[in-house]
Structure 1
Amino acid sequence: MSKTYSISDLARELDVTTRAIRFYEEQGMLAPTRRGQERIYSGRDKVALKLILRGKRLGLSLAECKELIDLYDPSGNNLRQLEHFLAKIAERRRQLEQQLLDIRQMQLELDIAEERCRSAMAVARGETRNPVE
């Protein structure tokens, strides 16, 4: 018999709230069985929750995490899942590199605006001649 987990077991083990686990269940990303009112999570659910948490840390959307979960093969042949994950990693890396470029550009623009403000303040105080004159 494979190992099962209660919602509190999973929450404690993966350092996530039970509310978050229920949310992921509502989104169709986890599929516990029921014993009365009690949720019983399988090893697959635990792996899925780990994928969700890892995906969130990497900046993936829940839809992207769900794609990865849907590709999971419990038999161990996860080549398609891994290839898809590598593609998501590359895409996320490209997004971050673009954000870095955008941040550097914004820093340059802030430097220019700051220098213009300081020059204008110096002129207003009469500390220097206005170079534009």
Structure 2
Amino acid sequence: MIKPVTPDAEFSIRELSLEFGVTPRTLRFYEQKGMIHPQRRGAARVYSASDRARVDLILRGKRVGFALDEIKEILDLEAIDRGGRERLEPAITRFEERIRVLQRQREDVDRAIAELQAGLEWMRERLEDREPPDEVKRRARAFEALAAARLEPWTGLPADQS
């Protein structure tokens, strides 16, 4: 059972591992990298609500493609601020570039979802033995061309002969 998250909440390595679906070794690695800072009680690690929030941010950052060093930099914004202009300006540039990359990835994902939805709609129309609308046909042809182009390296056939 996961404890309610209050500012003074404490968690064991096992609790955080189970909650976030990571191994204890992963949490120890994040500690070694200086990304989380559990207290010690004897040999046991005791994680604070702040450590828990940091683990959540680390995993979220990884899901969107940030490297651990980039995530650490985000987590350490306070230290960047103390570093003055010479640390803030490069950090701002890196953050802006990462935002642009993520926006491009989001656009790619949105286009891929739209094409998959068109393909799905086309397949459902075929199952119902109805003639799909021209727009669905156009999007399905684009989906088929994309699929054929992606299969070409495996089949050895040009996209138009798959």
State the TM-score, normalized to the length of structure 1.
Answer: 0.60
Of the two, which has the highest radius of gyration? 1
**Helix, strand or coil: the match of 1:5?**
strand
Question: Counterparts in 2 of 1:32-51, with a 5 A limit?
Answer: 32-51=38-57
> Hey, what's the Cα distance between the residues in 2 that align with 1:32 and 1:65?
18
Deviation at 1:94, TM superposition (A): 3.4
> Hey, what's the Cα distance between the residues in 1 that align with 2:76 and 2:158?
53
Question: Counterparts in 2 of 1:70-85, with a 5 A limit?
Answer: 70-71=76-77
Give the equivalent residue in structure 1 for 2:142: none
Give the equivalent residue in structure 1 for 2:100: 90
Give the equivalent residue in structure 2 for 1:64: 70
Change (3 A) 1:115 1:35: closer
Select which of 19, 25, 36 maps to 1:13.
19
Question: Counterparts in 2 of 1:17-32, with a 5 A limit?
Answer: 17-32=23-38
CA RMSD of aligned residues (A): 3.8
> Tell me, which stretches of 5 or more residues in structure 2 are unaligned?
1-6, 79-91, 112-145
> Hey, what's the Cα distance between the residues in 1 that align with 2:106 and 2:77?
25
The amino acid of 1:64's aligned partner reads E
- Deviation string 1:76-121 (CA, Å, 9 cap, x unpaired) is xxxxxxxx797433333336769x9xxx7xx39x59x7349x7xxx
State the TM-score, normalized to the length of structure 2.
Answer: 0.50
> Hey, what's the Cα distance between the residues in 1 that align with 2:12 and 2:52?
10
**Helix, strand or coil: the match of 1:90?**
helix
Deviation at 1:54, TM superposition (A): 0.4
More helix by share: 2
Matched, 1:114 2:157: yes
Deviation at 1:68, TM superposition (A): 1.5
> Tell me, which stretches of 5 or more residues in structure 1 are unaligned?
73-83, 119-133
Task: Count residues in correspondence.
Answer: 104
Deviation at 1:62, TM superposition (A): 0.3
Percentage of matched positions with identical amino acids: 40
